[in-house]
Amino acid sequence: MCAADETREWIRGRARLAALVLVLALAAMLWRVWQSPGTRPALSAEAALPLVSVASPGRSAVSSAVTFTGTIRARHDMPVGAEGEGGRIVAVRVEVGDRVHRGQVLAALDTSVIAPQVERLAASLLEARSTAGLRQAEYRRAQGMAASGALSAEEIERRRAAAVAAEAQVKVAEAQLLEGRARLARMQIRAPADGLVLERHAEIGQTAVPGGAPLFRLSRDGQVEMVGQVAEQDLPRLAVGQPAEVSLTGIEVPFAGHVRLLGAVIDPQTRLGEVRVALQAHPDLRPGAFARGEVAVASTERPVLPQTAVLADARGTYVYLVNGEGRVERRDVRVAGTGRGGMVIAAGLEGGERVVTVAGAFLREGEKVRLAPVPEAPSAGHAETGS
């Protein structure tokens, strides 16, 4: 490289360095200007305040209800098994879910032994009746010859006694036949009343014995009810005849019913009492299903707030209000329960207060805030909230 080239390269490097120094100087000058109080944009004190959404809940009609859980059961659960006679099951006539009538055959047992016995007893009855007829005829003939003296009084008395004994034998044979026929009838297991078959444990070839496990379970007339457990403090609020609603898992529409019976005792361990709700028969009301019951016991007007408005700490539940000076104020409240519109306030609010509805946990008591604008709505409500 010649001396002229080296000179040009040195000039270019000095020019680049000078440009860099100039850029840094301009940047430092602009930074000082930006930091100057007279030139930096100023935020107003009002704009720096937290923006909150508030609402005046007013007073809404709220129904007070007692809720409880339990199960669906048959109102009259009837176990059916073998009575008096046992035997091998040869036929099963019904299945689970069938509706049966009083006297309908549910299952049949083997009659190969008892049926011939009943036939023999029937034949014995015919024989006894024939003998009784013969003895009665002999006694009548003897009475006819009593005036002529052809037969002695002793013979006539003997024939009368034979006729009476023959009549007694007829009654014995009749009783034995009735007993045999009753035993034969018990070889058919019948429904004791109209109802719905809930369970079937009978199988063909199974041996049924008296006093054994039930072969069938019936719900008399298909009636069902909910048996629930209600808290001790809620039991006095219930009364027989009150309308109730029963909800089942997976079924959106509740079932209507009424309180049929209230328990007479409180379980000392669980502090719960029993309540029974009568229901109309329905295919979806299956005994054993878990259910939730609700009984409306009173109706009143109370403030209702969204759940985000109600806070809690060691002192209890509370809400934040915005007072006339635009400052946050704590108000302790008592929650009566949760309704469809939110949390029902039993005490602490009148309904006309401006309650912070969202993000109250980020505020401090006494802090000054500004209210979000109220959005226009077609109906004039109590809300004073914005976003």
Query: pLDDT tens digits, residue range 108-128?
Result: 999 888 889 989 999 999 999
CATH 2.40.420.20 boundaries in the chain = 51-62+302-384
What is residue 358's predicted lDDT score, i.e. its pLDDT? 76
What is residue 371's predicted lDDT score, i.e. its pLDDT? 74
Alpha helices in 145-269 (DSSP H): 153-185
CATH code for the part of the protein at 114-185: 1.10.287
**Per-residue pLDDT band at 46 (split at 50, 70, 90):** low
Q: Whose CA is closest to 346, among 289, 299, 304?
A: 304
More confident residue, 42 or 292: 292
For the chain, the average pLDDT equals: 81
Query: pLDDT tens digits, residue range 301-329?
Result: 778 888 777 888 888 888 888 887 778 78
Query: pLDDT tens digits, residue range 131-156?
Result: 988 888 888 887 777 667 677 778 87
What is residue 17's predicted lDDT score, i.e. its pLDDT? 67
CATH 2.40.30.170 boundaries in the chain = 67-74+221-298
Distance CA 286, CA 122 (A): 47
* Per-residue pLDDT at 296 exceeds 70: yes
Flag the least confident range among 33-47, 116-130, 229-243.
Answer: 33-47
Distance CA 140, CA 151 (A): 12
CATH code for the part of the protein at 77-110+191-219: 2.40.50.100
* Per-residue pLDDT at 352 exceeds 50: yes
CATH 2.40.50.100 boundaries in the chain = 77-110+191-219
What is residue 314's predicted lDDT score, i.e. its pLDDT? 82
Distance CA 15, CA 21 (A): 10
**Per-residue pLDDT band at 171 (split at 50, 70, 90):** very high
**Tokens (6 digits) for 52:** 């909150």
CATH code for the part of the protein at 67-74+221-298: 2.40.30.170
* Buried-exposed string 120-142: b where 16+ CB fall within 10 A, e elsewhere: ebeebbeebbebbeebbebbeeb
More confident residue, 380 or 349: 349
Query: With DSSP H G I counted as helix, E B as strand and the rest as coil, what are the percentages for the chain, rounded to 5?
Result: 25, 35, 35
Compute CA distances 74 → 56, 79, 80, 81, 257, whole Å: 49, 12, 15, 18, 14
CATH architecture of 51-62+302-384: Beta Barrel (2.40)
* Per-residue pLDDT at 43 exceeds 60: no
CATH 1.10.287 boundaries in the chain = 114-185
What is residue 104's predicted lDDT score, i.e. its pLDDT? 93
More confident residue, 7 or 220: 220
Q: Determine the average pLDDT of the residues in 180-205.
A: 90
- Backbone phi, psi, residue 21, to 5°: -65, -40
DSSP letter string, 2-26: -HHHHHHHHHHHHHHHHHHHHHHHH
Q: Whose CA is closest to 65, among 243, 231, 297, 334?
A: 297
Q: Whose CA is closest to 372, among 348, 356, 350?
A: 356
